Structure 1
Amino acid sequence: MVGILLPHYGELSLYFAQSALTSDFIVDVVERWWQGIKGRFPNVRTLLVNQDNGPENSSRRTQYVKRLAAFAVAGGVKVRLACYPPYHSKYNPIERCWGALEQHWNGSVLDSVRRPCGSRGR
């Protein structure tokens, strides 16, 4: 699962993978999210990505950085990565969202896909 949080607006977008999480999936999510939201932010020229620097989205992971760079060029935006140090997830605001979701799901296995009305699968 990948989450994108806009704390100032109180907006959380969740994207679920049907297989293992990969760096390509993460960048696909960022691209799809930005395409859907950029009209609301016509003056934004830089996206700041606060991330946990896990194995899929490490700033040293060549595929991840290559795909983000291609997205930035194609989208006409700068992408800045801000990586939280290991074991400092308590400072990352999205981690509080994960805690709330875990309590809501109460240990349920997420093994099916139900799309909200009006959404299109990709």
Structure 2
Amino acid sequence: MVNRSADEAETVLRLSWDAKAAVKIGDFSRGGKNRLERKGADHDFQPKGILNPSGIFLPQWDDLHLYFTASAVTSDFIVDVLERWWGSNRQRFPRVDTLVINQDNGPELHSRRTQFLKRMVQFARDQALRIRLAYYPPYHSKYNAIEHCWGILENHWNGELLDDVDAVLEFARTMTWNGKKPEVELLCGTYRKGIRLSPRQMKVVEKHVTRDAELGKWFLDIDGPSLRLG
């Protein structure tokens, strides 16, 4: 019901948001076949590095935006992805004043993660947006639309040697979802794990968060415009 109402409202934009398992960089055999003579290693070894992907998908538009980091997936990385995406796309949606975000209740973005909520409140206030976080409960992530995009990406580079950062980014750029290619970007910098607010700091943040009386941690609102006025 929430998603349908969001899709029907001219001032609301719905996003599907999620991170994916780390991609190992190196001469790994990834299953599948390709036409190259070069073969992947048939044993495990230390990867050259990793890239962690996070994505934003617009179900109404079939638009996919992929962001990668060589650092850890943290609350700060996740919200940086949202800020980066909105900064590049807000002019497309001049009438939008509310974002409905479908997401899983993962460890770095669940509704009790203090640093995540702090950053989301700041984002809502700075952009004067109403944010509605709609979480899928455990074992229901398949209903989050972006999960289907991750499957297409996996099939796209299945059997390929992702032996450097450029190879990972290029394969991501050349996948297609319903005939459209994604926007792909690498976020540089280091993200530190373990940042948490004190209980006193969290009380201040929670004042700006409204949790649904029945759904509790699975659905909450942040009213950015009222924060600006305050």
Return the TM-score normalized by structure 2. 0.49
Residue 112 of structure 1 is matched in structure 2 by 165
Describe the shift of the 1:35–1:100 C-alpha distance in structure 2 as closer, same or farther (beyond 3 A): same
Q: Which runs of structure 2 are paired with 1:1-122 in the superposition (5 Å)?
A: 1-106=53-158, 108-109=161-162, 111-113=164-166, 114=169
Secondary structure of the corresponding residue to residue 150 of structure 2: helix
> 1:94 is aligned with what amino acid?
I
Describe the shift of the 1:53–1:44 C-alpha distance in structure 2 as closer, same or farther (beyond 3 A): same
- Who wins on radius of gyration, i.e. which is larger? 2
What is the RMSD computed on CA atoms of the aligned residues? 2.1
State the distance in 1 between where 2:186 and 2:155 align.
28
Moved over 6 A (4+): none
Offset at residue 84 of structure 1 (A): 0.5
Aligned length: 120
Return the TM-score normalized by structure 1. 0.89
> 1:112 is aligned with what amino acid?
V
> 1:70 is aligned with what amino acid?
Q
**Structure with greater strand percent:** 2
Identity %: 57
Segments of structure 1 that go 5 or more residues without pairing to the other structure are none
Offset at residue 79 of structure 1 (A): 1.0
State the distance in 2 between where 1:90 and 1:29 align.
22
Higher relative contact order (CA 8 A, sep 6+): 2
**Structure with greater helix percent:** 1
Q: Deviations over 1:101-121 (max 9, x none)?
A: 1111116547414577xx796
Offset at residue 52 of structure 1 (A): 0.7
